[in-house]
Chains A and B, each alone.
Chain A
Amino acid sequence: MSRSVTAVEQAYRRHWARLLALLTAELRDLDLAEESLQDAFAAAVTAWPPEPANPPAWLLTTARRRALDRLRRVAVAAGKLPLLIVDDRPEPSSIPDERLRLIFTCCHPALSADARVALTLRCVGGLTTREIARLFLVPEATMAARITRAKKKIAQAGIPYRVPAGPELAERRDGVLAVVYLVFTEGYAATGGDRLIREDLAAEAVALGRMLRELLPADPEVDGLLALMLLHHARRDARLGPSGELVRLPDQDRSRWHRGEIAEAVSLLESSRPQHTADPFPGPYLLQAAIAAEHATATRAADTDWSAIARLYGELERLTGSAVVRLNRAVAVAEADGPGAGLALLDGLDHELGRHHLLHAARAELLRRLGREREALDAYGRALEVVGTDPERAFLLSRRAELSVR
């Protein structure tokens, strides 16, 4: 029994997205495709072993049969959702790769960001509704309703099952990358709960990033996103101390970084970044990966090339106009040119980032280094008012307690 569960689980991990993508194209109904494929995997748990010679073909045949059964049962039911709009239906004899269509449909901009994330994890990542609910700390019923609503909207609003073409492709690709990165950042820097990193969520995002790279080869931003996630993910074991507290980058034990992942990211980056330093980067993910790589490849914290990082942040700020990027650039400039230069760059950010603890925390650190402890104390206070997770709160409290003023 346990051996067959393992085989089914393995098949699930390897084939879920591809089979679901194909079935959706054939049946023109995402919901029906998902349920039928789920049935097929459930059937495999009882029927395997012996494992069939071609597990995905077995699963596909079983799922198609289940779909027919279901269709017969509801054939005359009223209020059936309209069929998905599918341009050309694939040859049923082979298992072509339709995953890109599935991804672009799940990440369609007409869906809310929450819905895009949930659908992508469910349909493309193959996670169960319960797993996704747990990862996002919401009740399972809430997550199930969110996914059902999203699938209904796809059918009712006529969201096509298609890879966009022409100038639309680049824009929509950015939307897909944003969904994957959102999954990653929620795992890497959790905004709620008592844990600071949810590795399992970050690992799902990395897996999605690998899949995207397979499906959209030779796209530097896709490479950039994967490299960026790998570089952050490689530090997971060193980011938290023994009691779950945040360990800052300079204090991390670099021997605990996953060197293989860093090397993989650096080689991705080397093949996709501009060959001459004067050339602009193609997009924000590759730039962010280049910044992360500067940190990840420094032997010791003191060896970090802060001037290079400040330069890259400058380019990123020009590209995105983002206040968060400006904040990070200020921190890098403070390291390269002194805390006064960094502090000056924080001016004017309160309007956009006043509710963000990182702005106040950064200002507090720079004021402390300038010896302006009274002002640093105030800034720590403001950071503590808006900080969201317990470990970050503990970190800010300990930094504030180190000040000599009260």
Chain B
Amino acid sequence: MKYALLMYGDERRWAAATEEEIKEAYAAHGRFMDLLTERGAYLGGEELDGSSTAVTLRTGGGRTLRTDGPYAETAEHLGGFYLVEARDLDEAIEFATACPEEIVEIRPVVEYQG
């Protein structure tokens, strides 16, 4: 099954991180991607730019409303995602546990047959 691992975090902490901390974070993600690749699980993934760069569109009633900023104003924002292939939810949880981020939401990807 395909799963998306959605990573959430406090952007202010990321913004305040030292160069050393940033280097270590990228290295940790590198090791995580190695693990996924080794297990044949890596399907893709991206880091997203900060929520301040977001534009949100809301369409309804024949018009489109455009606002600056992310869809939801919360302390933690979606900062990136991985797309993985896992045997089942337990393996997806195992991958998410190894993912070097504090909050990881696991979402099965709907797969269409035929």
Interface of A toward B, CB cutoff 8 Å: 82, 85, 108, 110, 156-160, 162, 164, 168
Q: Measured between alpha carbons, how far is A108 from B90 in the docked complex, in Å?
A: 10
Asked if residues A159 and B88 are in contact (CB atoms below 8 Å), the reply is: yes
User: Interface centre among A156, A158, A164, A168, by most B CB within 10 Å?
Assistant: A158
Tally chain B residues at the interface, Cβ within 8 Å.
11
Interface of B is mostly: mixed
Report whether B1 and A159 are in contact in the complex, using a CB–CB cutoff of 8 Å.
no
In the complex, chain B residues whose CB is within 8 Å of the CB of A82? 1, 111
Is B89 interfacial (CB-CB < 8 Å)? yes
Residues of B near A108 (CB, < 8 A) are 89
* A271 → B minimal CB distance (Å): 33
Please indicate the chain B residues that have their CB under 8 angstroms from the CB of A160 in the complex. Answer: 87-90
**Shortest Cβ distance from A86 into B: residue:** B88
Q: B87–A156 contact, CB under 8 A?
A: no
User: Is residue B41 contacting chain A, with contact meaning CB distance below 8 A?
Assistant: no
Task: Please measure, in the bound complex, the distance between the C-alpha atom of A108 and the C-alpha atom of B111, giving whole angstroms.
Answer: 23
Q: Within 8 Å CB of B93, what residues of A? A: 110
Q: Which one, A158, A162, A164, contacts B1 given CB within 8 A?
A: A158
**Chain A residues within 8 Å of B89, by CB:** 108, 110, 157-160
Q: Are A156 and B108 in contact (CB under 8 A)?
A: yes
Residue contact B88 to A85, C-beta cutoff 8 Å: yes
- CB of B28, distance to nearest CB on chain A (Å): 23
A60 CB, nearest partner CB in chain B, Å: 26
Q: B residues within 8 A CB of A157?
A: 89, 108
Provide the bound-state CA to CA distance between A191 and B17, in Å. 48
Give 4 new A-B contacts, CB below 8 A, not counting A158-B3, A160-B87. Answer: A85-B87, A156-B108, A158-B88, A160-B90
In the complex, chain A residues whose CB is within 8 Å of the CB of B88: 85, 158-160, 162
Q: Chain A residues with Cβ under 8 A from B86's Cβ?
A: 158
CA distance A110 to B88 in the complex (A): 12
Within the assembled complex, what's the spacing in Å between the Cα atoms of A164 and B92? 14
Q: How far is the CB of A332 from chain B (nearest CB, A)?
A: 39
User: Per-position contact with A for B1-26: 1 when CB-CB < 8 Å, else 0?
Assistant: 10100000000000000000000000
Question: Are B90 and A162 in touch, CB under 8 angstroms?
Answer: yes
Q: Quick one: closest B residue to A109, CB to CB?
A: B93
Which residues of B sit under 8 angstroms from A168, Cβ to Cβ? 90
**Which chain A residues lie closer than 8 Å to B90 at the CB level?**
159-160, 162, 164, 168
19 pairs from A and B in contact (CB 8 Å cutoff): A82-B1, A85-B87, A85-B88, A110-B89, A110-B93, A156-B108, A157-B89, A157-B108, A158-B1, A158-B88, A158-B89, A158-B92, A159-B88, A159-B90, A160-B87, A160-B90, A162-B88, A162-B90, A168-B90
Name the distance in Å between A109's Cβ and chain B's nearest Cβ: 9
- Chain B min CB distance to A192 (Å): 33
CA of A160 to CA of B91 in the docked complex: distance in angstroms? Answer: 9
Q: Closest chain B residue to A172 by CB distance?
A: B90
- Residues of chain B with a CB closer than 8 A to A85's CB: 1, 87-88
Q: How far is the CA of A324 from the CA of B29 in the complex (A)?
A: 41
Q: What is the CB-to-nearest-CB distance from B103 to chain A, in angstroms, rounded to a whole number?
A: 16
What's the Cα separation between A157 and B89 when bound, in Å? 6
Least CB distance, B110 to chain A, in whole angstroms: 8
Min distance, Cβ B87 to any Cβ of chain A, angstroms: 7
Residues of B close to A164: CB separation below 8 A:
90
Within 8 A of A (CB), among B66-103: 86-90, 92-93
- Complex: A158 Cα to B84 Cα, angstroms: 13
* Minimum Cβ distance to chain B for residue A373 (Å): 49
Residues of chain A within 8 A (CB-CB) of B108 are: 156-158
Residue of B nearest to A164 (CB): B90
Cβ of B66 to closest chain A Cβ, rounded Å: 33
